[in-house]
Every structure is written in C-alpha cells, then in structure tokens.
Amino acid sequence: MKDKVAIVTGAASGIGLAVAQTLAAEGCRVVMADVNAAAGEKEASAIGALFHSADLSRRQGCRDLVDAALAHFGRVDILINNAGIQHVAPAVDFPEDKWDFMIALMLTAPFLLSKYCWPSMQERRWGRIIHINSVHGLVASPFKSAYISAKHGLSGLTKTLALEGGKDGITVNSICPAYVRTPLVDNQIADQARVHGLSEAQVIETIMLKNAAVKRLIEPAEIGKFVLYLCSDAAACFTGSLLTMDCGWTAT
C-alpha cells in the first residue's frame, strides 16, 4: 500500500474514518472527504492525510474532489465510496427532497467518483474501487425506501464496473455489512424507536440484531481491515463481489 493514493468519502467519522486510518497506517497517501470540515480537518491532521470539504450530492462536488486529489498527488489508485445518510419513514410519507438527496449522495456520487477516478487507474493498469454498501444492498426492510433503493443500485453498479474494469486491472467490490457501531447507526436507533414505538434498547435487540447469528454490532475498525485486504494484491481476483459482513444475517 505504500505511496498508493486513496480517496475515502464520509471520512470524518465512523467507517470512513476507520478506513482512512487503516490505509494511512499502511503507507497510503489518503484524501479524506466530508461535509463536516471541522471534524474532517482535525482527523486528517492526526494521520497526515489531505482533507477536502465536499458536498457529494452535487456533481461539481464530486468533480472537485477528484481534481483536488489529482492536483495534489498526480494520481488516484484507490476509491472508497462510503459517504451516506439514513432516513426512516414509511414510503408514503417519505419526503421527496430527501429521496433526491439520498439517491444523489449514495448512488450517483459513487458512479461519478468512479468515472472521474477511472482514467488515472486505467493509465497505471491498477485500481481498487470499494463501495461501502450494506446488507440492505441485498435484502429489504420496511421504512428505508431511499436507503435500500440506493444500496441495491450500488450492488448493480459494482457488478457492471467490475466487468468493465477487469481488462485494465481495476477491481470493484462492495462490502455489505450489517449494523456498524457508528454515529449514523446511533441516529437510526433513535429514528427506529420513534417509528416503531420502542425503547432504544429494544430497537437494538429486536430490530438490529434480530436476524444476526452473532449478536453484536460490527466495529468500524473491522471494516477498515477488510478494505485493506481488498486493496491488496492478495485480493486481485475479487471483483464484482457483494461481500457480506453481516454476522450471519443473510445465512438463512
């Protein structure tokens, strides 16, 4: 990984931060992107990364991020599409502007960022694109129509890009975790409690861990280690894969 250049989105906290920290520790030159500039700059400084404030729900925000990475480092080798949000509501009540925003951030942005990074990877005949997808890229749950639609779309994008990139040494994979202990999940717990009329403890037990064989939340650092493996040459034959990291959720 030494001197590879990696872009990590949604990198100011949670999974994105853990991924950025893991890659930086292995010698990657990391570009951390997030809308939270204060937290992002602080965390980037701590690991010697470059921070770029980016609204990835906008096409220009995606273009500017990749341009900043290319201007600073001259190349992009690794792209980790992680940025995302959650909103819980019945589909009939789902705000239309929230739908547009979530699809733009979690499906259109990964497409655009992959498109903009592609020529740099193609030039060197080596690239790694990893989408931080979700178990909800494989199965559905109620009250998450936009999130699940975006993640299912991301699963299709993963497979298509993998078929297109193979000849140029570019692999494209999705990691599909169950619930990870992040600020995003903390917010989901409160939302689910409100929607279902449950306590937050009941949400964790009866909703989040209901389908899991291993009854615990996943730690962000575990995702970081999995990303590191997929970026390595040892994982060169993994491409187009929707890799479950779901504590057994989809085993049945």
Strand partners, 170: 127
Q: Which residue has the tokens 């930086």?
A: 24
Portion of the chain with pLDDT greater than 70, in percent: 100
| Dihedral, 222, 190, 135, 227 alpha carbons, nearest 10 | -30
- Identify the band that residue 194 occupies on the pLDDT scale cut at 50, 70 and 90: confident
Query: Which residues carry out catalysis?
Result: 147
250, 216 Cβ separation under 8 angstroms: no
Closest CA to 107 of 81, 75, 134: 81
Per-residue pLDDT, 1: 87
Region 92-111: mean pLDDT is: 98
- Identify the band that residue 87 occupies on the pLDDT scale cut at 50, 70 and 90: confident
Please tell me which residue, 157 or 193, carries the higher pLDDT value.
157
How much is the pTM? 0.95
Q: Domains in the chain, start-ordered, CATH in brackets? A: 5-179+219-246 (3.40.50.720)
- Residue-by-residue DSSP string for 71-138: HHHS---EEEE-------B-GGG--HHHHHHHHIIIIIHHHHHHHHHHHHHHHHT-EEEEEE--GGGT
